[in-house]
Amino acid sequence: MNSAAVVKIRPTGAWRIGTDSGARDRVGLHYRSDALYSAVTLAFLRLGQLDEWLAATAQAPAAEVCFSSCFPFVNDLIYVTPPRTIWPPLSLSAKVRWKGARFVPLDVVDALLSGGSLDDALWGVDGASECLVPLGQYGPYRPAVRTAAAVDRAGTGLEPHAAACLEFVAGGGFWFAIVFATVEARTRWWDPLQTALRYLGDTGVGGERSRGWGRFEIAEVVEGALAPMLLPRASQLLAAAEAAQGGAPADSSYWLLSLYIPASGEPVRWDAGHYSLVTRGGRVESPQAPGALKKLQNMVAEGSVLVAAAPPRGRASNVAPDGFPHPVYRAGFAVAAPILAQPFVPAAVPVEPAPAEEVA
C-alpha cells in the first residue's frame, strides 16, 4: 500500500472558501483537493522549488504526491464525504433527515461498511455545518458574514463590503491526507511539504487573506497506509474477502476522497459505480496576470464510488486561459480507498456516538 500521512490543521481565525457560484454571501464547507494543490504549488513558488514540484506532480505521467480534499473535524470526531453506495441510508426511518448530512463521521462510515446500523434516536443533522452529529451537539464550524470597509489613501473614499466565512468552534478544524506514490517519493517530498504547509499556515489559504483569514496551525500528523488508517474494520473485512476469493476481483470499488480527472486509458467502468460531477472554475493567482478566469473543468466529486480494474490514478489539466504566458494546472489526482462492493451484512450492531465529554 502507498505511504500516506493524515494531517489535522487547526484554523487560528476565520476561513473563506469560495463557492462554485462565486457569491460573496456564501461560503464553501470544505477546502477541495484542487485548491489545496494550488495553494501548495504557490508555496513552492515562493520557496524556489516550483519546477521540481511540477515535474513530480502535474507534469509527471503519475504524480508522486496526491492530496485529498480538506474535511472538517471537531476534537476526535473526524468527518468525511461518505461513499455514495451507503449514503443516505435509505433503509432507516425518516425521523432524521439523513440526506441533509454532507459530512459523516469516519467511524460511522467504517461501521456501515462493516454491517453496522444507525439509531435515529442518537443522531441528528447540524444544519449549519451539514454534519451528522451526536444528538444535542454541534458541528465544527458555523458560516457567518463579516463586514468591512475599504478606505482609499486620501481618506475620502469608503467602500463597505461583506464576505461570508467559516467560524470554527473550539476543537474544530480540517484534516486531509497526503498520499505518496513510492517510499522514495515520501523521502524526497515529506520535509519540503512540511515547510510548505508551515508557510501556508502563516500566510493563509482561501479568500480574504489580507484580513488574516485562512491561517492555521498543524495540530497532528499520523502516518501509515491510508485505508487501514481511515477504515480499520472495513479494510480487515475487505482483506478477508479477497483472501477467501484468492485475490482481488477483476473489478474493485474505490471511494474517492479527492476530486478526480480520469487519465487516458484508465480502466474505470463508467456504466457501474455511483458518482457525481462538479464543475470547477476560479481565477488565476499569478504574478504575470493575476485574476484571469481559469477554464471550466468537469471533475468527479468526492464521495463517488468508482468501479475499476485498478486503482484510479487521475491527472492534472491545464486550465490556463488561451494565450496565457504559462500553464495553470488543476489537480485531478485520485486519492481513493478500496471498499467492499456491497456493505458486509452480519447481525447489524447499532453505531453509538462517543460520550459527550469526548467530542464536546
- Mean predicted confidence (pLDDT) in 106-121: 90
CA–CA distances in Å: residue 126 to residues 3, 117, 129, 204? 34, 20, 6, 27
- The pLDDT, as a whole number, for residue 24 is 86
Q: Does the pLDDT of residue 284 top 60, yes or no? A: yes
Which amino acid would we find at residue 343? P
Q: Are strands 3-11 and 172-180 parallel, antiparallel or unpaired?
A: antiparallel
Report DSSP state, residue 249: -
- Maximum distance among all alpha carbons in the chain? 77
Q: What is the mean pLDDT of residues 320-348?
A: 84
Band (pLDDT 50/70/90 cuts) for residue 350 is low
Average pLDDT, integer, range 245-256: 85
163/177 Cα distance (integer angstroms) = 29
Closest CA to 123 of 356, 352, 359, 355: 352
∠ Cα 3 9 12 (to 5°): 165
For 300-356, give the DSSP string.
Answer: EPTT-EEEESS---EEEEE-PPTT-SS--EEEEE--EEEE-SS---SS--EEPPPPH
CA separation for the pair 332, 66 (Å, rounded): 9
Contact (CB, 8 A) for 164 and 27? yes
Q: How long, in residues, is the chain?
A: 360
Contact 296, 279 (CB under 8 A): yes
For residues 124-130, average pLDDT: 94
Please provide residue 46's backbone torsions phi and psi, each rounded to the nearest 5 degrees: -65, -30
**CA distance from start to end of the chain:** 34
The pLDDT of residue 349 is 54
- Tell which residue, 27, 18, 277, 32, has the closest CA to residue 129: 27
pLDDT of residue 117: 84
Percent of the chain, pLDDT > 70?
Answer: 92
pLDDT, residue 360, reads: 35
Cα–Cα nearest to 12, from 211, 258, 149: 211
> Looking at the predicted structure, is the pLDDT value of residue 237 above 50?
yes
Cell digits of residue 302: 468526492
Residue 359 has a pLDDT of 38
Q: How confident is the model at residue 328 (pLDDT cuts 50, 70, 90)?
A: very high
Give the pLDDT score at 287: 79
